[in-house]
Amino acid sequence: MGRRMADPATLHHGPITVQVQDGGLRNLTCNGIEVLRALTYPVRNRDWGTCLTRTTGQDITPTTYTRHFTDPDGSFSGTFRARLTSPNDLVADVTFTFHRATEINRAGFTLLHPIKGVAGQPLTIHHPDGSTTVTTFPALISPAQPARSIAGLTHSVNGTTVEIALQGDVFEMEDQRNWSDASFKTYCRPLSLPYPYAVAKDAVIRQSLTLNLAETSKPTSATRRPSTATARLPQVLLAHEHGLTSVAGLAQGHGLPILFRLTAETPTTDILAAARVPTLALEIIFDDLPDLSHQIARAGAVGMIPIRVTALPRPFLKSYQPDAIWPTGAQPADALPLLRAAFPKALVGGGSLTNFTELNRHRPNPAQVDFVTFGNTAIVHAADDVSVRQTLEALPEIFTSAQAIAAGKPLHLGLFSIGMRSNPYGDATAPNPDGLRLPMAMADPRQPTPFAAAYAVAILAHAARAGVKSLALAMTDGPLGPDGPLVAILRVAHLLGGAEVSITEDAGRFTLSSHRGGLAANCTPDPAPPPHPGLPALAPDCATAWTM
């Protein structure tokens, strides 16, 4: 008889171990090698928000896990079962029953494959018609799905062959590094099908999965050693956008340069305050070229002199699949001549004012721009602490792929934050009145805590090592503002901007130091040693800063 117990727990059978967490499976390993990062079964609403569920009952034994669940509104309920049936096999199934008619974008299994030992490696895709395709996991981040029409997959991770069979829907894969997730994701249903789609009252969705592991060669050592590099620290800015931040926050600015977003909705008071900022970078969102000319004139009328400027047509704030119908009308490149004429002393850039995803899918011509830009949020797909920490694994790969797109032009980046500034994939960010760790939410409970400060230091370390020239690590105020410990981090980061620093990374712990001062972060759930003589040990998910 199984034990009824709360998460987390670990299932194990021979060389296989897998953690039970948040109602799903995480970190499936074979002889200590991670072969599957996660197995979950989300329901995504029409805005791609993840529907929350609560557990109504669960049962765990050393080799099995069963969970019964429902959503808080009673719209659907279901059961998830996972069993380690042998030292080499995992079998899982999920059933959803919808108690009222609704519209959703997705319901069913989501598999996360790790990127370490996987990116760039061979992959065999098994299709529903029985045919196969031999390909590879992409090395650089793929803008489109690297695998489609999936009924099964075969690949290897560090000496272990992984065979996966899926039933109940047609699956496809996306490269989640686009959103800074450290994984490739296999999911249903294909994005080529219409969404949202209607689900009738009393509809039942059933899916099953089998996973077989075979050790084909001795794994290479997974021992990680601290790495040290020397690099120049990027310029750190604060972002401002009317409706998300206040003119009072803009005026205060904490002494940092400002990345100012100008739109038709921006009031004159904000433009006047921005014009008084000593160091200003400008982003313009416009509806058509006459509107862009009008916004440029508003900036010029108050004497705004930006050091960098980017402009993007409003439709390009939304995300489109590479093979989708893209917006007509004004294109991003159409803005470049107007920007150069209006701001002859400014660098003129191109790219995305949302995430790397949108840059990857609509790339500027490097010959036409002086720099390339994009932003990032850590919680597009998952918002638990482990998943947010894991996004740090994907940032170096994002920067490498962005450098390939930029073809030698510098990276001057937008806002990098935990919370989501805007939602390119739906109508709005997810409301979060209860302060949950919620995907696609703007208001994240970690923002005023040491966690956000540690996360910002880690971003800065990766950005510096990649040669990034500038980026914003918070907004001037509001839900994404620099509250709590993040304020001190940003002030020291600003002080050290442009300085050569020594950067050490050791399994989630980061130290950036120079003769002028330094920053350190512990992005792990365990305490860390003192990062600098005379400083105390670092608590989990904590950061510190010092000056000489």
We report the CATH number of the domain holding residue 153 as 2.70.98.10
Ramachandran region, residue 440 (left: φ > 0; alpha: ψ -120 to 50; beta: rest): left
For residue 6, the model assigns a pLDDT of 44
Q: How confident is the model at residue 548 (pLDDT cuts 50, 70, 90)?
A: confident
Confidence of residue 220 (pLDDT cuts 50, 70, 90): low
Find residue 154's DSSP bridge partners.
124, 163
**Is 56 in the same domain as 129?**
yes
Is the same domain home to 36 and 72? yes
Task: Name the residue among 453, 468, 512 with its Cα closest to residue 235.
Answer: 468
Q: Is residue 1 over pLDDT 80?
A: no
Mean pLDDT computed over 40-48:
93
Looking at 215, 242, 258, the residue that finishes a domain is: 215
482 and 519 share one domain:
yes
Number of domains in the chain: 2
Last residue of a domain, one of 215, 248, 268: 215
Domain span at 81:
9-215
* Token pair in block for residue 8: 């987390």
Whether residue 252 sits in one domain with residue 204 = no
Q: Is residue 4 part of a domain?
A: no
> Per the domain annotation, does 168 fall within a domain?
yes
- First-to-last alpha carbon distance for the chain, in angstroms, is 62
Question: Does 221 reside within a domain?
Answer: no
Looking at the structure, do residues 140 and 64 belong to the same domain, yes or no?
yes
Cis peptide before 122 (omega within 30 of 0): no
Q: Are 493 and 544 in contact (CB under 8 A)?
A: no
Residue 248 has a CB neighbour count (10 Å cut-off) of 10
- Region 372-376: what's the mean pLDDT? 98
Same domain, 276 and 150: no
Token pair belonging to 220:
């290479």
Burial category of 91 from C-beta neighbours within 10 Å (exposed 0-12, middle 13-18, buried 19 and up): middle
The answer to whether residues 196 and 232 belong to one domain is: no
Pairing of strands 171-175, 183-187: antiparallel
Q: Are 81 and 66 in contact (CB under 8 A)?
A: yes
Q: Is residue 531 part of a domain?
A: yes
Are residues 198 and 259 located together in one domain of the fold? no
What's the mean pLDDT when you consider all of the chain? Answer: 95
pLDDT in tens, 277-316: 999 999 999 999 999 999 999 999 999 999 999 999 999 9
Mean pLDDT of 232-254: 95
pLDDT digits (tens, 9 = 90+) for 309-336: 999 999 999 999 999 999 999 999 999 9
507: left (phi over 0), alpha (psi -120 to 50) or beta: left
Among residues 188, 215, 242, which one ends one of the domains? 215
| Phi, psi for residue 495 in degrees, rounded to 5 | -60, -40
DSSP at 49: P
Q: What is the pTM of this model?
A: 0.93
Q: What's the CATH number where 280 sits?
A: 3.20.20.70
Instruction: Give the pLDDT of residue 91.
Output: 98
Q: Is residue 3 part of a domain?
A: no
pLDDT at 401: 98
